[in-house]
Amino acid sequence: MNVEDPARRKSRLEDLQTATALGAQDRTLTVALERMVEFCSKTVGADFGALEIADESADASGRFITVDAENGSPARLPGTSAANADADRITGGRLSLNVPIRAQDIIYAHLRLSRHEGRPGFTPRDEALVASFAELAGLAIDNAWRRRHWLRISLKLTRDLPAAPEDEDGLIVQHALAASGADLVLLASPASDDSGPRCRAVAGPHVAAGDWQNLAINPGPLQQALEMDNPLLCAAADLLNSGGEGLAAAVIAPVNRHSANPGLLILCRSAEADQFPPVDVDMTGVFCEHVSLALELAQGQRSREQLMLFTDRDRIARDLNDLVIQRLFAAGLEMQSLRRFTPDETVQRRITDLTAAVDDIIRQVRDSIYALSPIPTSKRASAPGSSA
């Protein structure tokens, strides 16, 4: 019976833990897989290692990520012919292990490890370790897919928010629902001095189970989430005083916490559904940070548009005051000066009527100017007008 050296076993387990940490931290899936194959080959003492992408929906389907212990670091082979040549090299009588890697209930890839002829074969311990490694690699792939899905929804929300300022809360909960797959998504306002927490928007298949406009929310977890840097995971029963029947876990993360109108995004899943994995809890916080940034950008864009509108209105008001009113005022004075050239009463009345009409036009233009750009009362009194 072969007894593995404890020091060697410890070293192999440390290598496996290192590879798992790399896969969890690296956001680039291909780089993470390359490092995982390298560490797995090193851990079990394989001379060659390859990861064949089997998922037809993947961009690298049919290609290999390979490791040659004799020639150094792994390389993703770019061409089909090169990949097939390397596959022949690996499988030419020396293939010893072929372990499928599953992610989201599909076989994403095959992990293939081999040793030179003449070397001892892989032990049952090696096979068990590679099987455990394949499970961890599948989890890393699944986490990478989940992150990519969350980020795709977050980017879509940043594009949609500026176009619908009247329905920001509804857009946030709908996009959070699409990203998380939760059974209930709430956007709530925290408790204030004169009222408790208030539900601002809701989405999800569990919506029909309660009166969400009058939902009683426990302010304790909300206040705790506002003070935390990371999302808060708690039981739905501890959060919802009513309407939470059938719900199990809840995740709470603050949205725009430093603004005048902060909110809290609440994701809940039913007792029958899978609970929130760590990657979903983490990405809820990332999603809320994106939402906060998108809201700030949307508000900044609206402020710039409003400033441009006010600037344009001010320019129009100045043009009306400097050009139109002054010319009308001059025309009124000219008409009044015609009185001394004729004693005819009919003409005098006509001049009076025309002067009154000019006065009325000036008043209407003034009202338009005041509506576009308010003018202080002192300036209104000195604005030009006719003196009929």
Report the alpha-carbon distance of residue 337 to residue 213 in Å, rounded.
71
Provide mean pLDDT across the span 281-307.
Answer: 85
Q: Do domains 6-139 and 164-276 have the same CATH topology?
A: yes
Name which residue leads in pLDDT, 146 or 13. 146
pLDDT in tens, 36-88: 888 888 888 888 888 887 765 554 444 556 655 554 443 333 333 333 344 44
pLDDT in tens, 122-142: 888 888 888 888 888 888 888
User: What's the one-letter identity of residue 263?
Assistant: G
* Short-list 79, 134, 77, 72, CA closest to 101: 134
Provide mean pLDDT across the span 335-358.
Answer: 84
**What was the pLDDT predicted at 266?**
92
Provide mean pLDDT across the span 234-242.
Answer: 82
**What was the pLDDT predicted at 281?**
92
- Residue 242 scores a pLDDT above 80: no
- Residue 21 scores a pLDDT above 80: no
**What was the pLDDT predicted at 88?**
42
User: For residue 228, what pLDDT band results from cuts at 50, 70 and 90?
Assistant: confident
Instruction: Locate the DSSP E strands across the chain.
Output: 48-53, 64-68, 72-76, 95-103, 106-114, 184-189, 198-203, 232-235, 247-255, 263-270
**What was the pLDDT predicted at 373?**
55
- 339: Cβ contacts below 8 Å, ≥ 6 apart: 348, 351
**What was the pLDDT predicted at 194?**
65
C-alpha 154, offset from chain centre: 2
Question: Whole-model pTM above 0.85?
Answer: no
User: For residue 381, what pLDDT band results from cuts at 50, 70 and 90?
Assistant: very low
**What was the pLDDT predicted at 81?**
36
User: For residue 384, what pLDDT band results from cuts at 50, 70 and 90?
Assistant: very low
- Main-chain phi, psi angles of 334, to 5 degrees: -60, -40
Domain ranges for the chain: 6-139, 164-276, 306-381
Provide mean pLDDT across the span 329-358.
Answer: 84
Instruction: Tell me what the pLDDT averaged over the chain comes to.
Output: 75
User: For residue 174, what pLDDT band results from cuts at 50, 70 and 90?
Assistant: very high
**What was the pLDDT predicted at 176?**
93
**What was the pLDDT predicted at 267?**
93
Kindly give the pairing relationship between strand 198-203 and strand 184-189: antiparallel
Looking at the chain, the whole-number percentage of residues with pLDDT higher than 90 is 8
Provide mean pLDDT across the span 204-228.
Answer: 77
**R_g of the chain, CA atoms, integer Å:** 36
- Residue 284 scores a pLDDT above 80: yes
**What was the pLDDT predicted at 85?**
42
Q: Does domain 6-139 have CATH number 3.40.640.10?
A: no
Provide mean pLDDT across the span 361-373.
Answer: 76
- Residue 10 scores a pLDDT above 90: no
User: For residue 158, what pLDDT band results from cuts at 50, 70 and 90?
Assistant: confident
CATH code of the region 164-276 = 3.30.450.40
